Amino acid sequence: MPKHPNDRLQGTLDLLILKTLARGGPQHGYALAQRIHQATDDSLRIEEGSLYPALQRMTHEKWLRAQWGTTDTGRKARFYTITPAGRRQLEEEEQRWLTLTAAVSKALRLA
Partner 1 sequence: MSPLRRIWNLLRRSRLDDEMQQELETHLALIEDEARERGLSADEARREARARFGNPLAYRERAVDAVVATWLEDAWHDTRFALRQLRKSPGFTAVAVLTLALGIGANAAIFTLIDAVLLKPLPVRDPAGLVLFGDASASGVGAGFTGRSFPAFSYDLYKTLRDAGAVAELCAVQSARERLGVRRGSGAAEPTTARLVSGNYFQVLGVNTMAGRLLEPTDDKTASPPVAVASFEYWTRTLAGDPSAIGRAVEINGAAVTIVGVAPPDFYGDRIEADPPSLWLPIAASRSLNPTGHLIDQPDLHWLYLIGRLAPGVGAPQTQARLTLILQDWLRGRAGGAPSDERRTRIEASRIELTPIVHGVPHLQRQYADSLRLLFGLALAVLLVTCANIAGLLFARGTARRIERAVRLAIGATRGRLVRQSLTESLTLALAGGALALVVASSATRLLLALAFPDAAFLPIRTAPDERVLVFTFALACVAAVVFGLLPALRMESDIVPGMRAVRVRWGRTLILAEIVVSLAVLASAGALARSLARIAGQPFGFDRDHVLVAHVDPRLARYDFAQLAPLYDRLQVRLAALPGVRSASLSYYSPLEGCCWAFSITVPGYTPPREEQNSPLINRVSPGYFETIGTRVLGGRTFDAHDAPGSRRVIVVTEDFAQRFFPGRPAIGQTITIDSEGRDAPLEIVGVVESAKYDEPREPMRPMIFMPLFQMKAGESPVSSEYRSNYLEAIEVRSAGEPAEIAGAVRRAVAEIAPELPVLRVETLSARVLRSMSQDSAVATLASTFGLLVLVLTTIGLYGLMAYLVQRRTGEIGVRMALGASRANVTWMMLGDALRQAAVGILVGIPVAFAATRVLGSQLYDVSPTDPVSTATAAIVLVACLSAAGYLPARRAARIDPIRALRTE
**By the criterion CB under 8 A, which residues form the site for partner 1?**
3, 28-31, 48-49, 52-53, 55-57, 60, 62, 71, 73, 75-78, 85
Least separation in angstroms between CB 5 and partner 1: 14
Q: Which is nearer to partner 1, 9 or 108 (CB)?
A: 9
* Shortest Å, Cβ 92 to partner 1: 11
Q: Under a CB-based contact definition with an 8 Å cutoff, are residues 58 and 64 in contact?
A: yes
Nearer to partner 1, 91 or 104 (CB): 91
Report the residue count for the chain: 111
Q: How many Cβ atoms are within 10 Å of 43's Cβ, its own excluded? A: 7
Q: How many CA atoms lie less than 13 Å away from 49 in the CB half-sphere?
A: 0
Residue closest to 8 by CA, chosen among 81, 106, 100, 75: 100
From the CB of 99, what's the least distance to partner 1, in Å?
A: 20
